[in-house]
Structure 1
């Protein structure tokens, strides 16, 4: 397992539409996930230790961001044949057990992850009300283990700023995580 860091924010890059199945049996698109003040697109998976280290904080932050008009969506793009722990049934179980406050979608073709340029789990893309990229950073100082309880809530603060001003912070720290598990083509 190699830890990867995604590139930093390419401010203004437009969000890319998608149509993917959710663990709740519904089909989701960009328009159906956005909030009036923006959207947080997250690439996560079930088995990644970096995701497991932050999942409780991520759920908390996404719940609170709803109050600021920010929608959230999580997309799982790993090769589920090579990584069956990330399979749809396990996605459904995890989303239910943890009561995800956001849709959890399966990108079986991996086309959405490729279109967004996602490189790792977790990888965060924060968009403003015009669906222009304003944040491509980390949740907080966590790595494979949760950061300290008093770690600054970087993603939450950035998305709240985006909700209020339509602009993300200039200073952003790249996320860190496991590589997306691409299918051999």
Structure 2
């Protein structure tokens, strides 16, 4: 089922956490920021919305690094119900797509819950002082990759953040598969 996250709560400050990465290193999320900010992307391996844009996510992460913006992806899905999202499969997914950024595993889902993550992909863009400035889509793609030449919403917003410290007032929400929460019982 498709889910749509809320739009940007400008100035919101994230809670940091230390999570294991597919490269064998545990990392604090906020330590991955560049001097001009950080993008945190909640993704997973099986979601058709993520699969449709994963190469564009990798492209934009590379391009944002040139602007002094760090990038990290986090998977928070229930891997018992969705084994394609397991840590072992995360390693394969990251390798297959040549991730230039850390891919972290939020096994207990505490980060996704505390951040209010809703779907995959769900992008959080922060400025250099770790204040939320963007909570929107990558581009106009949905379950299918959009045509070449689509406006790069995330990249353009974060380019503005790198330049001014502020994100655009007008943002279009991301859309994707809902995060697969563990059964609370």
Specify if TM > 0.5. Answer: yes
Map 1:88-167; keep pairs closer than 5 Å.
88-167=87-166
Moved runs in structure 1, 4+ residues, more than 3 A? none
Once the two structures are superposed, residues 105-125 of structure 1 have per-residue CA deviations (whole angstroms, 9 ceiling, x without a partner) of 000000000011000000000
Work out whether residues 34 and 70 of structure 2, in 8 Å CA contact, stay in contact via their aligned partners in 1.
yes
State how 1:78-89 maps to structure 2 within 5 Å. Answer: 78-89=77-88
Q: Which runs of 5+ in 1 are unaligned?
A: none
Offset of residue 97 of structure 1: 1.5
Q: TM-score, normalised by structure 2?
A: 0.98
Q: 2:51 is matched with which residue? A: 52
Query: Which residue pairs with 1:18 in the alignment?
Result: 17
Q: Secondary structure at the match of 1:169?
A: coil
- For residues 97 and 178 of structure 2, the distance between their equivalents in structure 1, rounded to whole angstroms, comes to 23
Instruction: Show CA shifts across 1:40-97 (max 9, x none).
Output: 0000000000000000011000001000000000000000011000000100011112
Query: Please, what is the CA RMSD of the aligned residues?
Result: 0.6
Aligned to 2:73: 74
In the alignment, structure 2 segments of 5+ residues that lack a partner are none
Report the secondary structure of 1:109's partner residue.
coil
Secondary structure of the 1:134 match is strand
- The equivalent residue for 1:179 is 178
